[in-house]
Structure 1
Amino acid sequence: MTRRATLRTSHDDPAVIAAALDPDNTDSMHTTVEGDELVTTIERDSTGGLQSTVDDYVVNVTVAETVIDATRTHTDTNHE
């Protein structure tokens, strides 16, 4: 039996976050952008595998958002 989780996160620019995450996504993941939300569905054969993939994904979203925000802050600071 397949286990599935759908994660919805809101971002200022979800397409940029999606692009940053794309290289780390696996075949078990499907991501779309809906308005200001990044919607990712993860399917795995085991509960443990699903939990590990969700944990990794949440960390990757957090890192991507932090790096993008830092880059924008640095760019904005240099242009003032």
Structure 2
Amino acid sequence: MSEATHEATLATTHDDPRVVAAALAPDNTDAMTTAVDGDAVRTTIVREDAGGLAASVDDYLVNLTVADAVCETARDTHNP
């Protein structure tokens, strides 16, 4: 019998989606897949239980917020 899984897909848009996705990559686990589609970063997270999924989504969103802020700061610094 296979274990049930829980899945969440998050799609966010960014001015520099490839850079944001690359910044997130080191923190992604084997249970996460990230792709860039136009200006969107799409990440799917699969976990065995809802609590683990919620924790992974929360961690991902914190990392995403930081990655996007760093990209924005770098862009603003180089393009005053």
Q: Work out whether the TM-score is over 0.5.
A: yes
Aligned identity (percent) is: 55
After superposition, residues 1-80 of structure 1 pair within 5 angstroms as 1-77=4-80
Gap regions ≥5 residues in structure 2: none
Aligned CA-pair RMSD: 0.8
Letter in 1 for 2:28: N
Letter in 2 for 1:21: L
Structure 1 residue 12 displacement after superposition: 1.1
Runs of 4+ displaced beyond 3 Å: none
Give the TM-score taking structure 1 as reference length. Answer: 0.91
- Partner Cα distance (1:5, 1:18) in 2: 17
Q: How many residues align?
A: 77
Secondary structure at the residue paired with 2:15?
coil
Secondary structure at the residue paired with 2:12?
strand
Which string of whole-angstrom CA distances, capped at 9 and with x for unpartnered residues, describes residues 4-59 of structure 1?
A: 00000011121110000000000000001111110100000010000000001011
Give the TM-score taking structure 2 as reference length. Answer: 0.91
Secondary structure at the residue paired with 1:6?
strand
- Partner Cα distance (1:54, 1:43) in 2: 10
Gap regions ≥5 residues in structure 1: none
Letter in 1 for 2:48: D
